[in-house]
Structure 1
Amino acid sequence: MKRTYWTDTIFCTLFVFVFLGITYWFTGIFDVLKPLSQALKDFEMTDLIYARRVAADGSTYNLQDDHAAADTNIVLVNIGTLNREGIAAEVEVINAQKPRLIAIDTVFEQATTPQADSLLAASLAQVEHLVLGVNVYQSRLTEKDSLGSYYAPLYANAKKAALGFASGARNKVTRDFYPARHVGDSLIPSFAAQMAKIAYPHAYEHLQERNNTKERINYRRTDLQYITLDVQDIFNPELAVNLKDKVVILGYMGQQLGTQSWEVKYYTPLNEKYIGKTAPDMFEAAIHANTLSMIKDSDYLNQMPQWLCVLLGIALCLLNVRLFLWVNQWFSRWYDAITKLLQFVEIALLLYIVLLVFSHFHYKIDLTLGLTALLFAGDLLEVYTSVVKNLALLLKTKIPRI
């Protein structure tokens, strides 16, 4: 009897995962199901921690707000639609207050007019610690990336930093970044890593010691939890913010702060709609600020290895199939009620544990495979016992013995 139980347990577990694999393939090849497949694919359970919720008074909050104070060491400055002369003027005003560094989240790809370029070059040359972004493109043929074009005279006094993130496309949720990119025989630090290297060298050393080719971004703050200044604020003679020793990030954040814009904006886990996100929610400059805050505070996210996630998923499914087989034998009349209740309690408890561990210990346990298998295991066990097993027995009896 025990042997039969374990045989059924193993084969039923295998049947569950075969069904899930076919379902995953099915949703991927049919256009009508692709939006659903993509929405679920871009969702992670930990998004429930990050997602912004709207309070009764119209303000937004998430489950981490109690733990993340505003980071006043980093200042975001909007460049709006300024041309190079305007950016040069902004840099002059900011640099006069002796910030710790100035980083400009844009790429100056080519020359414009001699006057505009010379004004900007002269302004940038006065900055003691300057970071400028460059585009780095991933190569499909080699492990090394290629550097995009940039106008060298403007970069003479700057440390180059790789822009972009590890999501691969702007229509996906931006979760990870590359600390550095391989270009030729050299490494170009990412935008946030280059800022940390200059402003917080000890924190940058810790990032290097982790030796990860890709890091998960710990989104603790929106742009409202940083000092954020608009174009007119910078040119106001009575600027109330002291920029001395601040890390100042210049970037596009709309024509004016608060105006609707999808340019240079990304989907993040902070999005109010954590499934089927409709509009990007964070400008690139604010993502760099979050990444820099994480590096500065050594507030990293750690993840369970993928092989262990798969192993836990298989074990979770196997144990539940074993339990459901026992319920089916001794309480067959109450099978549906008992298994549905067990599934609900288990999923709720496991979700709570995953979110609790992530929120308090910044450790991500990915039980997506196991929870999905658990969700289908009860019904698929009935299909297995009433259809699959009977078909197998029927085929076995029809095969002539030699």
Structure 2
Amino acid sequence: MFKKFWLDTIYALAFILVLAFIVTQAFAFKIFDVFDPIGDAFKDMESTDIVFSQLREDPLAEEDLILVNIGNLNRQGIADLVNIINAAEPRVIGMDMFFPELKPDTLGDLALSYAFSQVENLVLVSKLEQPNDNNTFDSLALSHEIFSQYGESAFANFITGAADQDDIKVCRTFAPKEYANDELQYALSVKLSYYMDSVKTMNFLERNKEVEVINYRGNIFDYGATEAPITYFALDWYQVYDGQFAPELIKDKCVLFCFLGSELGDRKALEDKYFTPLNANYAGKGHADMFGGVVHANAMSMILSEDYVDQLGDNITYIIAIILLYINVVLFVFIYKVMPKWYDGLTKLIQLIEASTLFTLGLILFNSYSFKVDTTWMILGVLIAGDALEVYFGVVKNLFTKEGRKELTQVKKL
């Protein structure tokens, strides 16, 4: 009897894992997508989004990083901005924009090139292109030589999961470094951080992670366009022209030129804008909440504050999920055999308590220790164990017994 009990638990576990695999494959091929409008609203959500958008206290403002909005200025206008800011002696200037070709406005190109030549530490973005099967890139897009010759390059690519421009671009992670044309390239946030604190940046790189979760801190002041904490100081292009800033604000700081709308608070601008975990509508997101330049700023803050996000590896997560599933199978099989009348009520209660506990534990670990544990598979295993066991005992097991098959072929009168 004791041996039969443990055999039942092992066979039941195997059945549930096979069933879960079949269901997973069905969802992978989008078989049920037409029936899942609710799932569409939650597919871009993670439980940790609740921590970012609802639970964490507003952080202190970032003092070492200033954003400058270029708006819709032409190259002559951008050159004027660079000259004004550079006169205030920033430690490094980053340009989160491409200048791949020369314009018919030759004077504008020459003015921008000259402005760059006057900057002591300049970083211009590049773009990783043509990914290959070796998880590297075959091409690196750079600005035209008359611009790029005066600075270093760093890639601006984010990891969004968007297959094309119409897909929702959710940015939670970034790659600190990548290989392109067999040469090591660094992310813009990493390269800029190195100028601000080389020791902390090297400590970050020594983590040697292919992908890092961005520990978001906040956004810019955007006149109510988003509800995220205001963490980064941003100057609009006309404020720079009018001298509406103190030079002390810029001296020895990192200044990142980027597009933040035609002017700060522009709610119609969609270019270079992303959904982030700071989005107040973490389920069924409606409007992108952060420009790319601010995403780079958040990654920089994480590096310079050494406030990283660690996470449990996928393989360990799966192992824990299977162990937890088996523990539930053992418990539920015991209830099924010893207290069959109590099975439905007790299993549902246990599932509810376990799922709530796992969900809450994941939030606590992330909120208190910046440790990310994906509890999705653990919770899923808990939730399907009870009903899947009923299918196993009521259908699968009966199919392998003579008595069970006989009952299935007999039709009794009502």
Same topology, TM > 0.5: yes
Evaluate the alpha carbon distance shift between residue 183 and residue 14 of structure 1 in structure 2; reply closer, same or farther with a 3 A threshold: same
Secondary structure at the counterpart of residue 63 of structure 2: strand
Distance in 2, Cα, partners of 1:117 & 1:49: 45
* Contact 2:161–2:170, Cα closer than 8 Å, also in 1: no
| Corresponding letter in the other structure for 2:357 | L
Distance in 2, Cα, partners of 1:34 & 1:155: 48
- Could you tell me which residue of structure 2 aligns to residue 306 of structure 1? 314
Distance in 2, Cα, partners of 1:137 & 1:304: 30
- Could you tell me which residue of structure 1 aligns to residue 46 of structure 2? 44
- Could you tell me which residue of structure 1 aligns to residue 411 of structure 2? none
- Could you tell me which residue of structure 2 aligns to residue 54 of structure 1? none
Shift, 1:149, TM fit: 4.5
The structure 1 residue matched to 2:370, chosen from 334, 344, 362, is 362
- Could you tell me which residue of structure 1 aligns to residue 395 of structure 2? 387
* Contact 2:70–2:237, Cα closer than 8 Å, also in 1: yes
Distance in 2, Cα, partners of 1:373 & 1:39: 22
The structure 1 residue matched to 2:122, chosen from 114, 124, 130, is 130
- Could you tell me which residue of structure 1 aligns to residue 183 of structure 2? 186
| Corresponding letter in the other structure for 1:11 | Y
Shift, 1:129, TM fit: 1.1
Q: What per-residue deviation string (whole Å, max 9, x for no partner) do you get for residues 165-208 of structure 1?
A: 12342624212111112122321211101101222111111122
* Contact 2:142–2:153, Cα closer than 8 Å, also in 1: no
Matched, 1:90 2:81: yes
The structure 2 residue matched to 1:111, chosen from 72, 96, 102, is 102
Distance in 1, Cα, partners of 2:10 & 2:159: 38
| Corresponding letter in the other structure for 1:231 | W
Segments of 5+ residues of structure 2 without an aligned counterpart are: 221-229, 407-414
Shift, 1:248, TM fit: 1.0
Distance in 2, Cα, partners of 1:281 & 1:395: 62
Evaluate the alpha carbon distance shift between residue 88 and residue 165 of structure 1 in structure 2; reply closer, same or farther with a 3 A threshold: same
Distance in 1, Cα, partners of 2:242 & 2:195: 29
* TM-score for both structures, normalised by structure 1: 0.90
* Contact 1:64–1:220, Cα closer than 8 Å, also in 2: no
* Contact 1:39–1:276, Cα closer than 8 Å, also in 2: yes
Distance in 1, Cα, partners of 2:2 & 2:219: 56
- Could you tell me which residue of structure 2 aligns to residue 286 of structure 1? 294
* TM-score for both structures, normalised by structure 2: 0.88
* Contact 2:399–2:405, Cα closer than 8 Å, also in 1: no
Deviating more after overlay: 267-276 vs 85-94: 267-276
Evaluate the alpha carbon distance shift between residue 130 and residue 303 of structure 1 in structure 2; reply closer, same or farther with a 3 A threshold: same
Shift, 1:252, TM fit: 0.7
Matched, 1:316 2:324: yes
Distance in 2, Cα, partners of 1:205 & 1:107: 27
Segments of 5+ residues of structure 1 without an aligned counterpart are: 52-61
Name the count of aligned residue pairs.
387
Distance in 1, Cα, partners of 2:252 & 2:35: 52
Deviating more after overlay: 196-205 vs 30-39: 30-39
Shift, 1:39, TM fit: 5.0
- Could you tell me which residue of structure 1 aligns to residue 153 of structure 2? 160
Distance in 2, Cα, partners of 1:18 & 1:38: 25
* Contact 1:267–1:280, Cα closer than 8 Å, also in 2: yes
Q: What per-residue deviation string (whole Å, max 9, x for no partner) do you get for residues 287-343 of structure 1?
A: 000000011111111111111100000011110111111222233222222111111
